[in-house]
Amino acid sequence: MGPPAARRPGIREFVSTRRTLSGPRIFLLQCGIFKVDHFRPNGGKGAGRGRFCPSPTPLPSGYLLIVALSTTIRSLTRCLISTREDRFTCLFALCLRFQRFNRGPLSNTLLCTMTRRSSAGSAATLPTIANSTTQEKRRGSKGSCLCGCTGGITALWRKRMSASPELKIQVDQGVKSMVEKAQQVRKSGLQLYSSAYLFFADGRSNLNIVPPRREIRSPPTINSEHHFTRLKTLMQTLQGPGFYLDSGSYPSSCQWTSTVLTTLVIDYSHLTGDHQYLSHIVALFNNQEVPSLLKQKNDDKLWVVLTYLRGAAYASTHDPQWVQPFLDRALLFYNSASAGWDESTCGGGMYWGPRGWCWSYKNAVTTELWITASMGMYEAFGEESMLEAAIRGWVWFEKSGMINDQGLINDGLDRYCKYLSPKAATDVETTERRPGLIIRV
């Protein structure tokens, strides 16, 4: 079925292998000029990341690898490969040219399939995937995108569900009321997580403590100094041999986890006043792959924002020369992510992916990050639009029913505003249609 490569310029070589595992056809497109997303054959440990396959090596039995990309629209056609212990799942790989080759209807979910890893299938026996156009580290896709991302390219012009008028009214009213409250409070908003806040509460000075829904058996009490000693020891291990000062990161981490880990280092330094790791934080700042990260999904970008907001707060107490560079970095990523907020579908929410990639899926974590980052940005920069973004984000989040009956947060919602169950709670890609205001019928 693979046509000769010569028929299509831009595709040097096209090798197809067919397997008959549970239906979908499996292709291996060998194309050195194309981008291949991060490939984690070793269950997420990072082996094989960011490399390209120079020769059409047959896949070992039991493995799937699907790559379908084009040069002209490659940003739209990355193949996302998610690996778990016992399977690979290709989340989305659709290429218009590829579709023409095949002369058949390729559904968006064409490549969603699973297979068991063979016992011999260690990283060494897998074909190496290398990218001749980029050497940068790529991070892998997330399993939870499995359902949400299947909209693929076509989701860009497919029908989407708008929010019901009732929801829109409720959100607008909620936002208005909170913005008014914020105006009443009239705080400066320019203090980075400072403790000096004025307080103009409406006569209340006590919090309502919600009774706990479950009593936890308290562990034996130990001296708080012991906890501190333990923390120091664990931090030494974290920043020990697994950490590379020349990159400011950990080779086995991916982009989002490396930025979160650095945030933890910042927190530790800020909290304890142990400043020995400042150079590690600065090393990440100097070596982070900014152009690559700016092409990543919105949650990745927002984790970066949070890192540098915390970093600036820490630097302001210890080494102020880093405050402005950190804030500049936060602003760069915040502005880049802000395009992901959308009200035309489902009345609000943050798209998981950048435009054209996971653009049909609004992920809860990404929306939460947007709220948190907007809040932090407002405190750093004092722009009203940032405060309003945080308020609108939260009001929509709460009213859209993103929080389920158990009080847990759903994983996200697709372009039909259908809710996906929380990944952490179920760890399966089940979907559940929740009746709610959001669904216009």
How far apart are CB 403 and another protein at their closest, in Å? Answer: 7
| Site membership for another protein, residue 426 (CB under 8 A) | yes
Instruction: Name the helix (H) or strand (E) containing 382.
Output: none
- How many Å apart are CA 90 and CA 67, to the nearest integer? 9
CB-nearer residue toward another protein: 158 or 227? 227
| Site membership for another protein, residue 205 (CB under 8 A) | yes
| Site membership for another protein, residue 272 (CB under 8 A) | yes
Q: Which of residues 76-135 bind another protein (CB under 8 A)?
A: 82-86
| Site membership for another protein, residue 245 (CB under 8 A) | no
| Site membership for another protein, residue 317 (CB under 8 A) | no
Q: Which of 76, 146, 409, 417 binds another protein (CB under 8 A)?
A: 409
Query: How far is the CA of 294 from the CAs of 33, 47, 255, 291, 333, in angstroms?
Result: 21, 23, 11, 5, 7
Contact 393, 302 (CB under 8 A): no
Helix 323-337 to helix 364-381 angle (10° resolution) is: 140
Where does residue 248 fall: left (phi above 0), alpha (psi -120 to 50 degrees), or beta otherwise?
left
Q: Which of residues 1-40 bind another protein (CB under 8 A)?
A: 40
| Site membership for another protein, residue 391 (CB under 8 A) | yes
Contact 282, 276 (CB under 8 A): no
The token duo for 320 is 């102020």
Site string for another protein, 142-171 (x = CB under 8 A): xxx---------------------------
CA 281 to chain centre: 21
- How many Å apart are CA 132 and CA 266, to the nearest integer? 35
| Site membership for another protein, residue 371 (CB under 8 A) | yes
DSSP 338: G
| C-alpha dihedral sign at 96, 102, 105, 108 | negative
**Segment contacting another protein by CB under 8 A, of 12-20, 65-73, 258-266, 326-334:** 258-266
Phi, psi angles (nearest 5°) of residue 154: -65, -20
CB-nearer residue toward another protein: 9 or 203? 203
The token duo for 74 is 């490659």
- How many Å apart are CA 253 and CA 259, to the nearest integer? 9
Beta bridge partners of 84: 87
| Site membership for another protein, residue 244 (CB under 8 A) | no
Q: Which of 4, 6, 105, 213 binds another protein (CB under 8 A)?
A: 213
How far apart are CB 287 and another protein at their closest, in Å? Answer: 16
Q: Which of 4, 103, 210, 435 binds another protein (CB under 8 A)?
A: 210
CB-nearer residue toward another protein: 290 or 424? 424
CB-nearer residue toward another protein: 159 or 213? 213
β 87-92/431-432 pair status: unpaired
The token duo for 164 is 């019901």
| Site membership for another protein, residue 318 (CB under 8 A) | no
CB-nearer residue toward another protein: 407 or 435? 407
Q: What residue ranges in 279-409 does DSSP mark as E strands?
A: 362-363
| Site membership for another protein, residue 192 (CB under 8 A) | no
| Site membership for another protein, residue 263 (CB under 8 A) | yes
How far apart are CB 397 and another protein at their closest, in Å? Answer: 8
| Number of residues in contact with another protein under rule CB under 8 A | 99
How far apart are CB 158 and another protein at their closest, in Å? Answer: 27
